[in-house]
Amino acid sequence: MSGAQGQQEIRSDVVLAARNIAKSYSGIQALKGVNFDIRRGQVTTLFGENGAGKSTLMKILSGVVQPTSGEILLDGKPIVFSSTTDARNHGISIIHQELSLAPNLSVRDNIFMGREIIGPMGVDFAEEERQVRELLKELEEDIDPLTPVEELRLGQQQIVEIARALSVDSRILIMDEPTSALSAAEVEVLFRVIRDLTARGVSIVYISHHLEEALQITDHAVVLRDGSMTASAPRSEIDLAWVVRNMVGENYELGSPPSGYDFGPVVLSVRNLVVPDPAGGGYNVVDHMSLDVRAGEIVCIYGLMGAGRTELLETIAGRLAATSGEIVLDGKEVSHLSIGERIARGLALVPEDRQRDGLVQTMSVGQNLSLASIMEFTRGIFTSLKLERALIDKSIRDVTVKTDGPDAAIGSLSGGNQQKVVIGKMLATDPKVILLDEPSRGIDIGAKAEVFRILAARAVAGQAVVYTTSELNECLSIAHRIIIMRRGRIAAEFGSDVAKEDIMAASGEAEAA
């Protein structure tokens, strides 16, 4: 294994070097003396479990937070970044893991917020708009620069974040989970853009839990584990097994469909559901869909971004309105019921955008976990604190949340651990039907295996599970049945023994790629 660890000399191809960086947050040692090199014109990929310290290290290198100790060398010279603006002035930009856009502002205003283009007549909005159009064209994304960001789907918001980072001329561009909500086609465009940048000498740091995808763009891989660097090697010397081994120390299996029991009656039945495009596109995002799910059954809904998976689940949960069709839960029509009433009837949704929909940022980890199930502990006006506490402790263990404890602020958790809290919160309601929209987004391979194991156990216990994913291997794990959605319709339906190629062909992925 070659690598920079322990090396004292700064090699000439290293633009930025972190030396012995440590960071502690009130007792938690997030980084324990890390050496990390960013190589000129290369993609350095940083791998590591949830809470390993990846985002913390990147925030230090981009001026967002200050290290407790250690040194940063830019072109071999020591430097201190006092703020993100300071780092940006030195050519370092970051795309954050958690989207940081202002929802009610337009795409253009988000991209130029705080660094407006000033002409003789004040802010030159026309020039800003022209530059945004150019950036979006480069990213092959058909979005009007004047659209408010809140009207965009999650993946498009992520592309706006990327466009904002690209709008500054950077020497070093840090991408913390840039593709977690992107489609395969969008990822490919991003990778082409990254290659164009590295060809021009720009250095990239790339972080992702899509390990195979990340390896495609990696020139040099680095693994962080529990705040320490455990491995570093050029791409030519490593493979996926190397990454997993160094990340978690063992290999994980995502499981197989649970068997040895009979499915119960149909608990969720969707009949002829029609949902118009919420963004006013004039077409149906869910187009006469019908689907039956039995108690004990696990169904995976696979499809490209924009196929209508999110809208289908959100409509079943009552967040979007259908124009026609029926949703029957446990034999009763629920289309006219509110979100809360559907939850009370045993329907739970883990939404795609967990940052916005899933968590209350001002509450603690424990409060967030028990939020959805609070009714269960309420007798009259009293909440049984003891019961609630027991349930919170169990949830934290079940979904392996890495936290100081139930009283920690939700914002103190790493990105992936916040996602796990949302999953734990919905599972705690003990639903009849569990809907999960991309449950593995942002969570590491060990936690992913754990979540799938829990879902399989829930199915054996008689709950129905419906989840979406953009990763083939996740479909080919615990699902009894795989439904391929395409343009709001069911394009195909398979059993768990289907071949990867058939799924790709049915979803249109083969054409998109």
Ligand X SMILES: Nc1ncnc2c1ncn2[C@@H]1O[C@H](COP(=O)(O)OP(=O)(O)OP(=O)(O)O)[C@@H](O)[C@H]1O
- CA-angle at 17, arms to 12 and 20, nearest 5°: 135
| Residue 424's binding partner out of Mg ion, ligand X, none, with CB under 5 to 8 Å set by partner kind | none
Nearer to ligand X, 129 or 176 (CB): 176
User: Using the rule CB under 6 A, which residue among 42, 44, 55, 170 binds ligand X?
Assistant: 55
Quick check: 225 binds ligand X (CB under 6 A)? no
Pairing of strands 203-207, 172-176: parallel
Q: For ligand X, which residue of 335, 414, 463, 477 counts as binding (CB under 6 A)?
A: 414
Please select the residue that binds ligand X; options are 4, 18, 52, 399, rule is CB under 6 A.
Answer: 52
- Give yes or no for a contact between 243 and 267, defined as CB atoms under 8 angstroms apart: no
Which of 63, 155, 416, 424 touches ligand X (CB under 6 A)?
416
- Minimum CB distance to ligand X smaller for 39 or for 441: 441
Cβ neighbors of 336 (< 8 A, separation 6 or more) are none
Asked whether position 227 contacts Mg ion by CB under 5 A, the answer is no
- Own/partner long-range contacts of 376-380 (Cβ < 8 Å, ≥24 apart): 376/429, 376/430
Pick what 25 binds: Mg ion, ligand X, none; C-beta below 5 to 8 Å, kind-dependent.
ligand X
Least distance CB 211 / ligand X (angstroms) = 12
Site map (CB under 6 A) of ligand X, residues 21-40, x = contact: ----x--x-x----------
Kindly tell me the burial class for residue 98, based on how many C-beta atoms sit within 10 Å of its own C-beta (0-12, 13-18, 19 or more).
middle
* Per CB under 6 A, 362 contacts ligand X: no
Binding mask 377-416 for Mg ion (x = CB under 5 A): -------------------------------------xx-
Q: Would you say 95 or 343 has its CB closer to ligand X?
A: 95
Q: Label each residue of 186-241 as H, E or C.
A: HHHHHHHHHHHHHHCCCEEEEECCCHHHHHHHCCEEEEEECCEEEEEEEHHHCCHH
| Partner interacting with residue 53 (select from ligand X, Mg ion, none; CB below 5-8 Å by kind) | ligand X
State the Cα–Cα distance between residues 371 and 358, nearest whole angstrom.
10
Least Cβ distance, residue 53 to ligand X (angstroms): 4
Which residue lies nearer to Mg ion by CB, 93 or 414? 414
d(CA 109, CA 167): 12
Residue 155 interacting entry, from ligand X, Mg ion, none, C-beta within 5 to 8 Å by type: none
Pick the binder of ligand X from 14, 42, 47, 54 (CB under 6 A). Answer: 54
Q: In this chain, which of 35, 44, 62, 97 binds Mg ion, going by CB under 5 A?
A: 97
Report what 468 binds from ligand X, Mg ion, none; CB cut-off 5-8 Å by kind.
none
Q: Is the dihedral of CA 350, 49, 252, 366 positive or negative?
A: negative
**Which is nearest to 251 in space by CA: 44, 448, 85?**
448
Is the torsion defined by CA of 313, 319, 324, 326 positive or negative?
Answer: positive
Taking the alpha carbons of 217, 218, 223, 229 in that order, is the dihedral positive or negative? negative
Round to whole Å and give the CA distance between 140 and 462: 45
Q: How far does Cα 2 stand from its chain's mean position?
A: 31
Stretch that binds ligand X, among 49-57, 152-160, 320-328, 380-388 (CB under 6 A): 49-57
**C-beta of 46 vs 286, nearer to ligand X:** 46
Q: Shortest CA distance to 444 belongs to which of 471, 411, 416?
A: 416
- DSSP class of residue 358 equals I
Q: Using the rule CB under 6 A, is 246 a contact of ligand X?
A: no
- Toward Mg ion, which CB reaches closer, 284 or 417? 417
To the nearest 10°, report the CA torsion of 76, 80, 86, 91: 20
| Contact pattern from residue 371 through residue 410 relative to ligand X, giving x for each residue in contact according to CB under 6 A and a dash for the rest | -------------------------------x--------
Number of residues binding to ligand X, judged by CB under 6 A: 20
- 178 binds ligand X per the rule CB under 6 A: no
Asked if 42 touches ligand X (CB under 6 A), the answer is: no
Residues of this chain that interact with Mg ion (CB under 5 A) are 55, 97, 414-415
Residues of this chain that interact with ligand X (CB under 6 A) are 25, 28, 30, 48, 50-56, 97, 402, 412-417, 444
